[in-house]
Amino acid sequence: MADLEWNEAYGIGVPELDADLRRLHDLYCAIRASLEGGGVSTDLRAVCGELIDTARAHFAREERLMEVCDYPDRAAHAKLHQSFLEQVEDVWTFVRDDGARDDYMARFLVLGFIGKWLKMHIMVVDQKFGEFLALRGHAGGRA
């Protein structure tokens, strides 16, 4: 994700969920731009907080749809969501409280972890759910 522009193909064909994914991508880009501008700024704190809130809301929406559609991999998928939230909150707490003077650590943790996780999740794990929806002929699934 770090080197990619948003592409509609990264969505899974469910407009509300795809809007969340686009927002997560945009927030990640804002975090990257903030870090490249130097340090852990007030703006960066706000943007990281928004990214966590957006991820939490998105995961809840996605998990509701998985439940409704009886998606067989939903438990494992939800476990990945939970794991991300726990890790990203740990990372962010560290950067905010202990790593604020260390730009390298901030870049490594925020950009490395969040960027790689989002890329892997959006482009692989969520795509599997999109394919399931499409196969089931779900109205929101990719045609």
Which residues here bind Fe ion, judged by CB under 5 A?
62, 126
d(CA 33, CA 13): 28
Shortest Å, Cβ 66 to Fe ion: 9
Looking at the Cβ atoms of 21 and 106, the one nearer to Fe ion is 21
Shortest Å, Cβ 79 to Fe ion: 11
The angle formed by the CA atoms of residues 91, 63 and 119, to the nearest 5 degrees, is: 45
Shortest Å, Cβ 137 to Fe ion: 21
Shortest Å, Cβ 114 to Fe ion: 14
Looking at the Cβ atoms of 32 and 77, the one nearer to Fe ion is 77
Q: Which residue is nearest to Fe ion (CB)?
A: 126
Looking at the Cβ atoms of 18 and 126, the one nearer to Fe ion is 126
DSSP symbols for 72-140: TTHHHHHHHHHHHHHHHHHHHHHHHHT-TT-HHHHIIIIIIIIHHHHHHIIIIIHHHHHHHHHHTT-TT
